[in-house]
Amino acid sequence: MRVYGDAPYSHGEAPIDTDYHLPFFTMRDFSQISYIVDSSDRLISLNQDWSSFAQNNGGADLRPEAMSGRVLWDFIADEATRELYAAVLAKVRSGAPTYLVLRCDAPASRRLIEMAVHKLENGDVEFKTVLLAAKDRPFQRLFDHSTPRTTHHLMVCSWCDRVHVGGEEWVEVEEAMERLHLNDETELPQVDPMVCMACFTKVMEIVSGPGLQPDAP
Ligand SMILES: [Zn+2]
SS3 for the chain, per residue? CCCCCCCCCCCCCCCCCCCCCCCCCCCCCCCCCEEEECCCCEEEEECCHHHHHHHHHCCHHHCHHHHCCCEHHHHCCCHHHHHHHHHHHHHHHCCCCEEEEEECCECCEEEEEEEEEEECCCCCEEEEEEEEEEEECCCCHHHCCCCCEEEEEEEEECCCCCEEEECCEEECHHHHHHHCCCCCCCCEEEEEEECCHHHHHHHHHHHCCCCCCCCCC
Q: What are phi and psi of 187, to 5 degrees?
A: -100, 140
Beta-carbon neighbours within 5 Å of ion ligand 1: 157, 159-160, 196, 199
pLDDT of residue 48: 60
pTM of the model: 0.75
pLDDT of residue 113: 86
pLDDT of residue 54: 54
Handedness of CA 166, 206, 85, 31 (dihedral sign): negative
- Cα(3)–Cα(77) distance, integer angstroms: 10
103 CA distance to ligand 1 middle (Å) = 9
Pairing relation of β-strands 188-194 and 149-157? parallel
161 CA distance to ligand 1 middle (Å) = 6
Angle at 76 between CA 14 and CA 171, to 5 degrees: 60
pLDDT of residue 188: 97
pLDDT of residue 209: 64
pLDDT digit string (tens) for the chain, length 217 residues:
222 223 333 333 333 333 333 334 444 455 577 889 999 999 887 776 666 655 554 455 666 777 778 888 887 888 999 999 999 999 999 999 999 998 888 888 898 888 999 999 999 999 988 888 888 999 999 998 889 999 999 999 989 999 999 999 999 999 999 999 999 999 999 998 899 999 999 999 988 865 444 444 4
Contact between residue 103 and residue 161 where contact means Cβ atoms under 8 Å apart: yes
- Cα(207)–Cα(202) distance, integer angstroms: 9
185 CA distance to ligand 1 middle (Å) = 25
Query: In the chain, how long is the greatest CA-to-CA distance?
Result: 53
pLDDT of residue 46: 74
157 CA distance to ligand 1 middle (Å) = 5
